[in-house]
Amino acid sequence: MEEMAVSSGFDYEVFLSFRGPDTRAGFTDFLYVSLIDAGIRAYRDDEELRVGEEIGPELLQAIKQSRISIPIFSTRYASSKWCLKELVQMVECKKNMGQKIMPIFYDVEPSQVRHQTGGYEQAFIEHESKGRYSDETISKWKAALSEVGALKGWDLHSMPNRHEGDFVKTLVKKVFGELKKGFVVLSDCLVEVDNHVSEIMRTIGPRTHETWIVGIHGMGGVGKTTLAKIIYNQLSPNFEHRCFLSNIRETSEVNGVEYLQNQLISDILKKERKDISIRNIDEGIEMIKDRLCGKRLLLLLDDIDKKNQLNVLMGKRNWFGEGSKVIITSRNKEVLNVPQVDWTYELKCMDPNKSLQLLSKHAFRSDRPLDDYLDISRKAVGIAGGLPIALEVIGSLLSCNRKEMWDVILKKLEKVPHEEVSSKLRISFEALDDRQKHIFLDMACFFIGYDKEIAIYMWDETEFFPEEALEVLQHMSLIKIDENNTLWMHDLIRDMGREISRQDSNMVTEKQTRVWNVDEALNLLMTKQEKEKVEALRLEFRHPAGHRFADEEFMRFPNLRLLVVNGGTIGQWFMYRLSLETMFKIKFGIEEQTSRQNFHLPTNFFQKKSHLLPKLRWLAWHYIPRDFDIAKLSMRNLVVLSLALSTITHRWDGWSHIKKAKSLKVLDLTSCWHLVETPDFSGLANLERLIMHSCGSLVRVDKSIGQLQRLILLDVRYCWQLRDLPNEIHKLKSLKELLIVGTRLQDNMSSSPS
């Protein structure tokens, strides 16, 4: 997902418009303080302090930035030209940017505002008598009052037993709910480019009854995703049904398109993932058409790289209800050249002034450089070439160094060709120490999207001081850790890291320390040379038959510390069956398989030597069958073990071998649906995290869990058949998190550690 140098449009969240003499000292002051106390960024203007005839840039910006405007209509509100000008601006922002107006009728009736009667009629008589305002201006003021006066708001004037304190509490809760509803998170370090936002909103915003499908395209790192998120945030208050599908390209590669179809349906229908069962892509298409038909929705499809992804996620225009808005981002303009897309918008690199502002935010934590840094900052901007991600990373790099080092750093940057952004970003990589480089490359090749705390376990065991390293990587803008503690890295930086890994081995796979590409990994597995350089390997088989591993194949990886193996699914097998049958018959001598139930990874896949891969610290082997033989693998140094999505039961022979993993800290059994009972946990004295999320058949946890005195997290979420835990759970003195959402656990679990 891409980061962009743009204003979120939301530096302020709420704009208060009021006539000072009427309400400032009482109601408005109380409301403002209550909003601030609730953590809501509110802007309160004092119209009595203004000079001149026009709204100043600061006030104009405050209105445009706010998600919600609250005009407080008092008896003399319309007598203030400033209040009327503010109101016109609010209406413009509502039409063009999707902002919400929440009017308060303080001591006037809504009809007086709507029809300009009573004191409002007298106010316009006075304005017109002065002859200072054109008929067009007067008409705009009246139109704004009529429109806002017709909106649903709060009529304090007619409220029985009027208690302003109670009302303000209610209003703050309502505002808080509106602000938090349906928005996606944006970076704190953004630079305003209202022209992009305004142009798109002018096209799709006002036409609320028309369906619009728009595509935003541009080079990687230019900020397509962030611009799309801003548009999504501004449109979001107007839609009950919303969905943001992020990083579709990578998510579809790792989890399949069915995963995205599931997320789309569950988000729109507001259901849990487990309640939506999609067995294949075609079934997902039919379900989207049937379940979402007629619904007016807001959809953001982030990082589409294949036209087929559009076909299976949104299909034809008539899949969704009238007035729906779909925003698509893609690096490839050709992907957007389909009948469904109404309009495309190209996002280009930043101009020099905006580039300087963004660089300054990261280098100086301000909107402009210090005076004696201006020339050298402009030099840095020129090197970055207007690419936001490059400006962000270079600015962060410069901020970590003294001024006398800037020339040295920029001279290095100047040697990098302008077109090769990844080479520019490598300057930041070279500034890291060896430990930080190691963790960065691990992340780039394997750990994007992983929980930070789990990844730390492996790095801790090798004494890489990961907490410090991750902090440095964040400060250098090479990685991000989101609100869910998930590790994230920009595509360009990820690609740069992977290219470094390849270049360090002179592009020879056998000499790479990390092999993440599935095709390269399979080819590497077949070669007979020693692979002592390889430390991390990812294998993926797109069919359940997998591969019959011989001892020699793993004996050639003496230094492997990380192994990830993903088996295929039944659906994938049938897609590949015709092309694979002949190959398997020739290579492995297996008979034609005709029954889905017969497809499985071969048992006893190791055939000779025991205790292979002695340096292995992280093992993730998914989709294994219940008769899978793990006994040949060394458990001596294993720290993280994931057997997610496997068909093993509590009677599986492998449990006794896993007990030899005396250093094991994390055991992940997510979605092991055949697990009715847990195994005996005795022997795993150092286990700290036990994850059994979505084990749908689990009904019993073995009492040996009480022996896990170092356990800090137990996750049994969505084990919906689990009714209770053994009393031994109370012996877990280190337990900090007990996650039980989606289970049938008794109310008395409140007495358990949490």
Distances (CA, A) of 498 to 254, 443, 445, 451: 17, 10, 6, 20
Enumerate helices (H) and strands (E) in the chain, giving the number of each.
27, 22
- Based on the residue annotation, tell me whether 86 is a catalytic residue of this protein: yes
| Alpha-carbon span 622 to 437, nearest angstrom | 29
Query: How many Å apart are CA 426 and CA 462, to the nearest integer?
Result: 25
How many residues are recorded in the chain? 754
- φ/ψ of 506, rounded to 5, equals 55, 35
Rg for the chain (alpha carbons), in Å? 30
CB within 8 A of 193, min separation 6: which ones? 5, 6, 7, 350, 354
Which position among 86, 258, 535, 540 bears the catalytic label? 86
Say if CB 406 and CB 446 are below 8 A apart: no
- Positions of E strands within 77-120: 100-101, 104-105
Report how far apart, in Å, the C-alpha atoms of 125 and of each of 92, 110, 133, 136, 488 are.
25, 20, 12, 15, 60
- Tell me what percent of the chain is helix, strand and coil, each rounded to the nearest 5: 45, 10, 45
Please report where in the chains the tokens 């507001």 appear, as a residue.
270
Residue 337 — φ and ψ, nearest 5°?
A: -85, 70
Strand partners, 215: 328, 344
Rounded CA separation 535/615 (Å): 9
Output the CA–CA distances (angstroms, integers) from residue 505 to 397, 496, 513, 518, 717, in the order listed: 26, 15, 8, 18, 43
For residue 102, what are the CA distances in angstroms to 22, 148, 268?
19, 9, 26
Q: What is the DSSP letter of 703?
A: G
Positions marked active-site? 86
